[in-house]
Amino acid sequence: MDISSARNKLTDLGFRNLQSHHDKDGKLLVQFGALPSENATMTKSPFHSNESDFIHFTSIENLISILNTKRFRLYNLINMDDKSEIKWANDQLKFKSPVNNELLEHIYCFSMCEANIIDNNQAKENLLWKLHGRDGNGIMLKLRIVNDTVCWHNYHLIKVKYNIDDAISVQYINEHDIQTKLDQKICSFIKNPIYNFEEETRIIFENRKYYKVTVNEWERILYPITIPDKLHKKENILYFEIPVFNFYREHQDCFKAPSMLPQNYELPKIEITEIILGYRNSEEDESILRGKIKLIDNRIKVYRTELAKNY
């Protein structure tokens, strides 16, 4: 690999040239490679997921909050379980700059798995329940993305990689090309191989300063509105919310891009298709949840995992 071929390979990952500076003779001094906000640039990337059906583990309390607020929460990277994961990718890709707070505070994540990873695989499902489903006391949501991800703006649907093989051109550029500076956001697409069993897919949302929409008269942020999570002791853990599609089928204007963005952009439309209770939840829990869901959206199926017969 040489610098020219490495630069060409960056476009396969979604990188686009943000800006470049030349001397008076036209010689390139420095160029900045960014992962643009339009998800359309990522659809041919090895990091993009083409699936539409996913599973997401949570607690009963969090599920009730989702149903009451009619919103999903995306948390910033400071809230990640593995505190070193972004640093690991940053080191492996040979970025010269350390991971900074701007990246961790202003990139948000919603973690899922492609639903097909547990098809006819009870061992895999059992492992995920133990790790992410409160050892059978939690909830597994089956989710479906119902709009075309090409329409997304500031959001990426990312299939996490557990090595840097697909981003080796990034490593090469960082080691050998002093003229090219790359966006460290790609570090949120890659995790340490020891987590390979998770097979995680993420919705990544970027909220760095130049993407905020403001109301000029008051200099007030209109979108997105981020909220400090006061339940966490650690500072700067923030979340923001996107609508749950089940509640807004007849009011889809809330998924349109905020003002000042082209109108063909949309927020992710994510619906809940099934709610599966863990193997340690009681029949009473199931009955209560069935009653609540019946009042909200009777198209959502509610049942206990088949693993319950083993416990």
Q: pLDDT of 63-81, one tens digit each?
A: 999 999 999 999 998 877 6
Q: What residues contact residue 262 under an 8 Å CB cut-off, 6+ apart?
A: 153
Residue 234's pLDDT is 63
Determine contact, residues 76/106, Cβ cutoff 8 Å. yes
Residue of higher predicted confidence among 232 and 272 = 272
Amino acid 64: pLDDT: 92
Highest mean pLDDT (candidates 103-107, 213-217, 225-229, 254-258): 103-107
- H or E segment to which residue 294 belongs: helix 283-296
- Phi and psi at 2, nearest 5°, equal -120, 175
Burial 63-94 (b: 16+ CB within 10 A, else e): beebbeeebbbbbbbbbbeeeebbbbbbebbe
Lowest mean pLDDT: which of 48-52, 103-107, 175-179, 225-229?
225-229
CA separation for the pair 183, 103 (Å, rounded): 10
Q: For residues 144 and 116, give the distance between their C-alpha atoms in angstroms, rounded to a whole number.
A: 12
Roughly how many angstroms between the first and final C-alpha of the chain, as a whole number? 54
Query: If you average pLDDT over each of 43-57, 212-226, 238-252, 285-299, which comes out highest?
Result: 43-57
Whether 265 shows a pLDDT value over 90: the answer reads no
Is the separation of the CB atoms in 167 and 216 below 8 Å?
A: no
Residue 210: strand, helix, or coil? helix
Average pLDDT (275-283) is 94
Average pLDDT of the chain to the nearest whole number: 88
Q: Assess whether pLDDT exceeds 80 at residue 262.
A: no
Examine the pLDDT at 216 and tell me if it is beyond 60.
Answer: no
pLDDT at 210 over 70: no
Decide: residue 169, CB within 10 A, 0-12 exposed, 13-18 middle, 19+ buried.
Answer: buried
pLDDT of residue 213: 61
The confidence score (pLDDT) of residue 145 equals 98
Q: Give the C-alpha separation, 310 to 292, whole Å.
A: 27
Integer Cα distance of 270 and 261 in angstroms: 21
Supply the pLDDT for residue 259.
Answer: 63
The predicted structure's pLDDT at residue 101? 79
Q: Is the pLDDT of residue 233 over 60?
A: no
Orientation angle between helical segments 283-296 and 60-69, nearest 10 degrees: 10
* C-alpha to C-alpha distances, 238 to 70, 73, 88, 234, nearest whole angstrom: 18, 10, 22, 10
- Residue 229 CB burial class (10 angstroms; 0-12, 13-18, ≥19): middle
- Which residue, 9, 50, 69, 296, is CA-closest to 150? 50
**What is the tens place of the pLDDT at every residue in 142-176?**
999 999 999 998 899 999 999 999 999 999 999 99
pLDDT at 293 over 80: yes
- Backbone φ and ψ for 124, nearest 5 degrees, come out as -65, -45
Query: Tell me, what's the pLDDT at 211?
Result: 56
Whether 132 and 117 have beta carbons less than 8 Å apart is answered as: no
Average pLDDT over residues 247-266: 81
Identify the residue with better confidence: 218 or 32: 32
3-state secondary structure of 250: coil
The owner of tokens 């090219």 is 180
Place of tokens 């499902």: 125
